[in-house]
Amino acid sequence: MHPDIAKILLDEQTIQAKVRELAARLSEDYKGKSPVLICILKGAFMFTADLMRQMTIPARVDFMAISSYGNRARSSGVVQILKDLDSSIEGEHVVVVEDIIDSGLTLNYLRENLLSRRPASLRTCVLLDKPSRREVPYTPDYVGFQVPDEFVVGYGLDYAGLYRHLPYIGVLKPEVYQKHA
């Protein structure tokens, strides 16, 4: 285990089993269709890659990057698009793929933004859900795991840009982030 990790919350095997389960559900629900997976950078890159690899229907992938909001912007729920999709989603079946939903502000904003582009359908697939942190109501269509309000990193999730490479999801030792506070 990485020395900055206090404990492993979800090990690699548990994550991969859940990814296979979600991929099977998506493959069934979108049978006969060819959905577009929208990976929200950066956190969702690993989940999106594994999810797509396990799907048995044709799918395309596109990417969006959005700014993390400062405290002032946060209350307004407005986020800035740093990188937009390459292609139009008009008439497409869209699945937004996220590593984590916390306050719900990001997905709430994205839903409104993407719906205005007139997709045929829009659903969200998140690996981790922290329902205790919700500031705006939001229920993702597909959820991997509900997690407690702890500082989780790994499998795409970072602290200060680090730990994204870990194949498991762990709780960061408090002294690691308190040092920089």
How many CB atoms are located within 10 Å of the residue 146 CB? Answer: 10
Q: Would you say 4 or 158 has its CB closer to ligand PRP?
A: 158
Report the residue from 98, 122, 124, 128 that binds ligand PRP according to the rule CB under 6 A. 98
Output the smallest distance, CB 10 to ligand PRP, in A: 16
Residue number closest to ligand PRP, CB atom: 43
Please, which residues bridge with residue 125 across strands?
A: 97, 142
Helix (H) or strand (E) holding 72: helix 71-76
What is the closest distance, in whole angstroms, from the C-beta atom of residue 159 to ligand PRP in the complex?
9
DSSP state at residue 69: P
Contacts (CB under 6 A) with ligand PRP, residues 25-54: 40-43
Distance CA 93, CA 119 (A): 6
Cis geometry, peptide bond prior to residue 7 (ω within 30 degrees of 0):
no
101 binds ligand PRP (CB under 6 A): yes
Interface map 139-178 toward ligand PRP (x if CB under 6 A): -------------------x--------------------
Residue among 145, 100, 125 at smallest CA distance from 36 = 125
What letter does residue 163 receive in the DSSP assignment?
Answer: S
Q: Alpha-carbon torsion 55, 65, 148, 2, what sign?
A: positive
Site string (56-95) toward ligand PRP, x via CB under 6 A: ------------x---------------------------
Q: What minimum distance in Å lies between the beta carbon of 2 and ligand PRP?
A: 18
- DSSP letters of 52-64? HHH--S--EEEEE
Pair of tokens at residue 65: 């990057």
From the CB of 130, what's the least distance to ligand PRP, in Å? 8
Active site residues: 102
- Contacting positions for ligand PRP (CB under 6 A): 40-43, 68, 98-106, 158
